[in-house]
Amino acid sequence: MNDHMAEQHSKLSLTAIGLATHIQSLPEGAEVGIRALAARFAEGEVRIAAALRELEAHGYLSRTRARLPSGRIVTRTVWHNNLLTTGLRPRIPEQRRPQP
C-alpha cells in the first residue's frame, strides 16, 4: 500500500484501507474477488464490495470484466502502485520552523 493512502484520501473507510493493505501483501495473481475476500474476512460481501468500490473510485485499483473461452465471465482486478498512474500526487511534508 502506498504510505500516503490515508493522508491522500481521508474519506477512505478503515475497511478500504485495511483491504488495500491486504491486497498489497498478496502475491501477483492472487484471487481478490469479493467472494474470496469475504471468505477470508468477517466483514462480508456487501462491506467488501463497498470497500473495493471506494478503492476503485480513488484510483487505487481498476476492475474490468472479461469473458473466458469457456464463456464464463470473470472480473480482472489491477492494483495501481504508482500514484502517477492514478493522477494523485504524493503529499509533501510541511517544513517546520525551528522553535526560538
Q: What is the pLDDT of residues 16-68, one digit of tens each?
A: 999 998 998 999 888 888 999 999 999 999 999 999 999 988 888 888 999 99
Q: Most confidently modeled of 65-69, 75-79, 95-99?
A: 65-69
Report the alpha-carbon distance of residue 5 to residue 22 in Å, rounded. 13
Indicate the SS3 state at residue 4.
coil
Report the alpha-carbon distance of residue 29 to residue 4 in Å, rounded. 24
Strands 61-67 and 73-79: antiparallel
- pLDDT at residue 93, as a whole number: 40
Domain 5-86: which CATH number of 1.10.10, 1.10.287, 1.20.120, 1.10.760: 1.10.10
- pLDDT at residue 94, as a whole number: 44
- The closest of 36, 39, 26 to 81, measured between CA atoms, is 26
Lowest-confidence segment of 3-7, 30-34, 59-63, 69-73 by average pLDDT: 3-7
Q: Which sequence spans correspond to the domains of the chain?
A: 5-86
Q: What is the pLDDT of residues 12-29, one digit of tens each?
A: 899 999 999 899 899 988
